[in-house]
Amino acid sequence: MSQTTESGTPFEPVYGPDALKGWDPESKLGQPGEYPFTRGVYESMYTGRPWTMRQYAGFGTAAESNRRYHQLINAGTTGLSVAFDLPTQMGLDSDSPIASGEVGKVGVAIDSIEDMRLLFSGIPLDTVSTSMTINAPAGLLMLLYQLVGEQQGVSGDQLTGTTQNDVLKEYIARGTYIYPPKQSLRLTTDIFKYCQAEMPRWNTISISGYHMAEAGATPAQEIAFTLSNGIEYVRAAIESGQGVDEFAPRLAFFFVSRTSLLEEVAKFRAARRIWAEVMRDEFGAKNPKSLMLRFHTQTAGVQLTAQQPEVNLVRVALQALAAVLGGTQSLHTNSFDEAIALPTEKAARLALRTQQVLAYETDVTKTVDPFAGSYAVEALTDDVERVARELMAAVADLGGAVAAIETGFQKNEIEKSAYRNAQEIDSGERTVVGVNRFALDVEDPYEPLQVDPDIEAQQAERLVRLRSTRNSSEVDRQLDATRVAAAGSENVLPPIKAALAAHGTVGEVCDALREVWGIYQPPTAF
């Protein structure tokens, strides 16, 4: 019976020299830290120090999340990653009628600078690196972080971290968009410009394939559509008057890591090679850092099961190993209970311990790119690259990522892959341990984390107090300035920062932008 990869290419039972016939190691591999970066973006990789262990966390109120952050730091995490609740991701205040029932549920509720200050209480922002998973209102949350840093005495040029800020994938796979694509790209390029001057060490965008993969994208689709989005961002920044080597070194990426270990390693290597060539040959980048595809990885939440949840510990360990062997720069390991609820403190600690075992109890950090020259992995890398390039060409033929999004191309391709995957699970062709094979008649009891149902009322009370004590005329003045900037061509971030500093809320600022830019209406599905 023939086997295929997740991307649909043949998976041979045996790979030998014929698999790499005519294969040029110099052009395909190079050296670690050198073009085409197949073997990794840094010369020493983990032989110098391990990847950043960045645990994604956030729930309930800022105070609750702050306690979890301190627990993770005490357990040895080397970077924080903030999960925001759905209203915050949509640019809504916690007392908005639309936010009802969602406040604090899938992340932390952040309405104003008061919440952001509480979120990082006792955490020195000049020593911690923070990633924020936020897209449509990314600039606002980044500015709140900068304001809190300034209150701590930490200047913008000392802050390190990342805002995801990748709204194009929201139109494709996730749905937490606000404004139309053109206006969203304007906001993204304004963030690029602002950070060049104010926060030069900040990674301005994390171009994300993770969410497309979670929606059903194959490995080849994941990197193809992600890199196509990256090309769109680069073009938009250049068209706004920025030089490619001014902003490209701060671009970062975000991918998933699945249990299909060999193909995942191949995917990461292929993505680096494609991006390096695109940046050098298409955009003429000269700075080697502009050619580097630096990426964060998260283990595959979609592969976690509510049945026999402890088995997820094994899945996560394999997924994490694939990310490390593939050369990730930072890693989040999912907790074993996340298919049931938000992770408990113990589950989050075990997830971090998984990374620490890989880093300190195995030999995978002792050499760079241990799979280099492997018949199987090099052939798989070429296969993933070929399919990804074909998909990228299809996007380009439609006019680029935004034009393809407006036709629904990427979304349709991903949904077809997701449907095939579901069919294979239902038929038993694809095994999911504990679900369609090796199931238990009765599941062991498990006590999940419970989010306080009073959080919504607590946040609403905080907003009432905030609005009653602030200088409302100053807030209104800065919101008007934000509308003027949005309607014109000046950078919108300075007036937004002033509005937030005056205790304007996330919802109020996003509403000001909505008034000028409108909201996005997706095309009818086909």
CATH (domain of 202): 3.20.20.240
The answer to whether position 485 is within a domain reads no
Per-residue pLDDT of the chain (526 residues), as tens digits, is 579 999 999 999 999 999 998 899 888 999 999 999 999 999 999 999 999 999 888 999 999 999 999 999 999 988 899 999 999 999 999 999 999 999 999 999 999 999 999 999 999 999 999 999 999 999 999 999 999 999 999 999 999 999 999 999 999 998 999 999 999 999 999 999 999 999 999 999 999 999 999 999 999 999 999 999 999 999 999 999 999 999 999 999 999 999 999 999 999 999 999 999 999 999 999 999 999 999 999 999 999 999 999 999 999 999 999 999 999 999 999 999 999 998 999 999 999 999 999 999 999 999 999 999 999 999 999 999 999 999 999 999 999 999 999 999 999 999 999 999 999 999 999 999 999 999 999 998 888 877 788 899 999 999 999 999 999 999 999 999 999 999 999 999 999 999 999 999 999 999 999 999 999 988 765 4
In a domain, 325, yes or no: yes
Measured CA to CA, the distance from residue 217 to residue 215 in angstroms comes to 6
Q: What share of the chain is helix, strand, coil (3-state, %, to 5)?
A: 50, 10, 40
Q: How confident is the model over 78-105, as pLDDT tens digits?
A: 889 999 999 999 999 999 999 999 999 9
Domain annotation covers residue 447: no
pTM of the entire predicted model: 0.93
Is residue 441 in a domain? no
Domain residues for 265? 37-427
- The answer to the question of residue 497 being in a domain is no
Asked if the structure places residue 499 within a domain, the reply is: no
**Is position 49 within any domain?**
yes
Q: Which helix (H) or strand (E) holds 119?
A: helix 113-119
User: What are 366's two structure tokens?
Assistant: 């002792």
Structural domains of the chain, count: 1
Q: What is the pLDDT of residues 480-489, one digit of tens each?
A: 999 999 999 9
**Residue 33, CB-side half-sphere exposure with 13 Å CA sphere:** 7
CA distances from 342 to 65, 85, 305, 451, 459 (A): 12, 12, 14, 8, 20
Going by C-alpha positions, the residue among 287, 279, 355, 361 that lies closest to residue 322 is 355
C-alpha to C-alpha distances, 510 to 351, 490, 517, 519, nearest whole angstrom: 35, 17, 10, 11
Residue 95: CB atoms within 10 A of its CB come to 21
DSSP track, 433-449: BTTTBS--SSPPP----
Within-domain flag for 402 = yes
